[in-house]
Amino acid sequence: MPKFCANLTMLFTEVPFMERFDMAARAGFRGVEFLFPYAFDLDRIAEKLQSNNLEMVLFNLPAGDWEGGDRGLAVNPSRVGEFQDGVGKAIDAAKKLGVKQLNCLGGLTPEGVSEDQIYKTFVDNLKFAGNALKDAGVRLLVEPVNNLDVPGVYLYRTQKALDLIRDSGSDNVFLQHDIYHMQRMEGELANTIRSNIAMIKHMQLADNPGRHEPGTGEINYRFLFSLIDELGYDGWIGCEYRPKTTTLEGLGWIEAHRE
């Protein structure tokens, strides 16, 4: 059975953010992740992690004005300086929270920019971030997301992510595989995971349709979890779903799959 971490951006939203660490620990989670730490008191988060014996597994590089519609900076040639400054902020936060890998969201396709320029910008940014994070002892991930939930997103295919990683030339850039996003875009989940398991260093899950917990939709998670175990994957799987009712009521899927 894989090990699961709670995504505190989407789970335990019944309580204020800082209380979600306590609830995750009481629910049996040993790891947590969330979108961004930058607006929070990092010392307080570190205290929450320590007091609850939780590992901070992952967060994202700064992605611009999230509330204003930004979904990442890495594809935009006019924001390279902002992207690079964000890498420094992310490294500082990772050191304080003991995080060993960070995710890069590419962002929305910028208007009026050629595909070649967008691709080169993304590659150069991955190379910069991958090398900077390597010096800090942190792994960089890049994640394709579906363009149905996020219209206009640039990176929405696994193969394109692998091409970007290859062309970055960095040995510190790997793939984050979100099962929900790739079910919506590609299907072929088992073959994709099997073919790319060496490059996959983090996974996330939700069922489809609805982006709720496993067992509420069409994805055969019992089969996938067995395959992931068979392949020897020892990373975390982030529970990045919207509970259909409450978080605690929906967590029965974990024990059901153990059985």
Tell me how many degrees the CA angle 101-105-111 measures, rounded to the nearest 5: 160
Give the whole-angstrom CA distance, residue 37 versus residue 42. Answer: 7
Give the whole-angstrom CA distance, residue 64 versus residue 107. Answer: 9
Question: Can you read off the two tokens belonging to residue 107?
Answer: 């962002």
pLDDT at 1: 87
Residue pointed to by tokens 């953010």: 17
**Annotated active-site positions, please?**
143, 240
pLDDT at 256: 87
pLDDT at 259: 63
pLDDT at 233: 98
pLDDT at 235: 97
* Sign of the dihedral defined by the CA atoms of residues 208, 36, 150, 192, in that order: negative
Instruction: Name all contacts of 88-92 with Cβ < 8 Å and 24+ positions apart.
Output: 88/132, 89/38, 89/62, 90/59, 90/61, 90/62, 90/133, 91/132, 91/133, 91/136, 91/138
Its pTM stands at 0.97
Neighbours of 184 (CB within 10 A): 18
Averaged pLDDT in 10-residue chunks for the chain of 259 residues:
96 98 98 98 98 98 96 98 98 98 98 98 98 98 98 98 98 98 98 98 98 97 97 98 97 87
pLDDT at 257: 84
Residue pointed to by tokens 């890498």: 87
Distance of CA 18 to the CA centre of its chain: 20
Residue pointed to by tokens 């894989």: 2
